[in-house]
Amino acid sequence: MTMCHAARHHHVGHVRAQQGNRVHAGYHAPLSREERQREFVQRASKFGAVFVLCVGIWIITGFGAVWPLWVLLIGGFVLAREARDAYGSYEDEDEDEDADLDDVDDRDSILN
């Protein structure tokens, strides 16, 4: 066994040991409704700042072609999709919450 080979296997074992507490290295738990809404507000604020910067550059450069509208259209489309995800219909989530509450009621009736 060469030194490179041994070092590589030691590194792999070390990385696996560090990731032992995680379910899966690339796994992200689904965000709650409040977290999605908070994330949307942060992204919308950042987009607003970028758009204002673009308008400022457009004004400073002499009011030529109105190119900041492209930024507004594309960014607005992306934000609209994110708003739908953050504030849209939650029928599926509400049904899941109702099912969870039913499970709790069933367990309580069994225990009593």
pLDDT digits (tens, 9 = 90+) for 43-93: 999 999 999 999 999 999 999 999 999 999 999 999 999 999 999 876 655
Containing structural domain, residue 64: 29-111
Contact between residue 87 and residue 37 where contact means Cβ atoms under 8 Å apart: yes
With respect to residue 19, please indicate whether it lies within any of the assigned structural domains.
no
Please report which confidence band the pLDDT of residue 109 belongs to, taking 50, 70 and 90 as the band edges: low
| Spatial CB neighbours of 71, under 8 Å, sequence gap ≥ 6 | 50, 51, 54
Please report which confidence band the pLDDT of residue 28 belongs to, taking 50, 70 and 90 as the band edges: confident
With respect to residue 94, please indicate whether it lies within any of the assigned structural domains.
yes
With respect to residue 23, please indicate whether it lies within any of the assigned structural domains.
no
Sequence length of the chain is 112
Residue 72: CA count within 13 A, CB half-sphere: 8
With respect to residue 38, please indicate whether it lies within any of the assigned structural domains.
yes
Instruction: Pull the structure tokens for residue 87.
Output: 């504030």
**Alpha-carbon distances of 7 from 18, 54, 59, 74, 79, rounded to whole Å:** 17, 50, 58, 48, 47
Evaluate if residue 15 carries a pLDDT over 50.
no
Q: What is the DSSP letter of 107?
A: H
The amino acid at residue 15 is: V
User: What region does 31 belong to: left with phi over 0, alpha with psi -120 to 50, or beta?
Assistant: beta
Evaluate if residue 1 carries a pLDDT over 90.
no
Number of domains in the chain: 1
The per-residue pLDDT of the chain, averaged, comes to 76
With respect to residue 87, please indicate whether it lies within any of the assigned structural domains.
yes
